[in-house]
Amino acid sequence: MDERLLEIKDLYVEYITDDAQVFAVNGIDLSLNKGETLGLVGETGAGKTTTALSIMRLLPEKVGLIRKGTILLDGRNVTEATEADMRLLRGETVSMIFQDPMTSLNPVLTVGDQIAEVLELHKKFKTKPEVEARVDEILKMVGLPPERKHDYPHQFSGGMKQRIVIAIALACEPLLLLADEPTTALDVTIQAQVLALMNELKKNLNTAMILITHDLGVVAQTCDKVAIMYAGEIIETGTVEQIFSGDRHHPYTVGLFQSIPDLKKKTRRLHPIDGLMPDPTDLPSGCKFHTRCPHCMETCKTMNPQPYEEDGHMIRCHLYGQGSQAATD
pLDDT digit string (tens) for the chain, length 329 residues: 458 899 999 999 999 988 899 999 999 999 999 999 999 999 888 999 999 999 999 999 889 999 999 999 998 999 999 999 998 899 889 999 988 878 889 999 999 999 999 888 887 677 889 999 999 998 988 889 999 999 999 999 888 898 899 889 888 888 999 999 887 767 777 778 778 888 887 888 888 999 998 888 889 888 999 999 999 999 999 999 999 998 899 999 999 988 877 777 777 777 788 888 999 999 999 999 999 999 999 999 999 999 999 999 999 999 986 544 434 33
Q: Which residues of 29-61 are buried (b: 16+ CB within 10 A; e: fewer)?
A: bbbbbbbbbbbbbbeebbbbbbbbbbbbbebee
E-strand stretches of 205-305: 208-213, 225-230, 233-239
Taking residue 124's Cβ as centre, other Cβ atoms within 10 Å add up to 7
C-alpha–C-alpha distance, residues 21 and 196, integer Å: 40
Quick one: how far is CA 135 from the chain centroid?
Answer: 27
DSSP state of 148: G
